Amino acid sequence: MSVAAEEAAEEIGFTRAMSRVPGPVVVTTTVDDSGRRWGFTASSFVSLSLDPPLVTVSLDKKASTHAAFAVAGHFMVNVLAHDQSEIARRFATSGVDRFAAGDTEPLERGLPGIPRAVVRLACRMHEVVDGGDHSMLVGRVLDCVTSQEREALVYVDRGFVRPAAPPAAGPR
């Protein structure tokens, strides 16, 4: 097997393996100096540090939003609720006005946010880290808003799912 064929097989295997790993679905938003809103759907979002409070969101370097986020001073991570898959799809679609549906509004620190998200994290850009074909946006969390009434949307096996409810605690 040639080196190129071997690398292609490894990439396919890696892609297939990572599709099996469930993750939260987030829409990350910002507004540039001219007031234009930007946003994208990401399934790669993790907590990085407690002290200081840092999170990371990964963004494809070829994405139309990359340039805006690479220089953004602040951004918001909106962890979507189980009934918000349409928002996730829209913010993942190129060539559409992702904000046209009117389900975002200026929230914490004036950043465009999704009011009914399970979690909203307003962040100051801490660092943009090279990550191969993606950039990792590292944000210092400034404000946290959470909802206990809604369940998060999860992405696994190339589809959106609602988490199963935990079993009721019974007598032992």
DSSP-derived secondary structure for 26-70? EEEEEE-TTS-EEEEEES-EEEEETTTTEEEEEEETTSTTHHHHH
Lowest-pLDDT choice from 47-61, 84-98, 118-132, 158-172: 158-172
Measured CA distances, 85 to 1, 14, 46, 115, 152 (Å): 41, 25, 20, 15, 10
Tell me: pLDDT of 96 over 70: yes
Closest CA relative to residue 88, chosen from 162, 6, 27:
27
Q: pTM to 2 decimals?
A: 0.85
Closest CA relative to residue 28, chosen from 61, 66, 57, 62:
57
Tell me: pLDDT of 142 over 70: yes
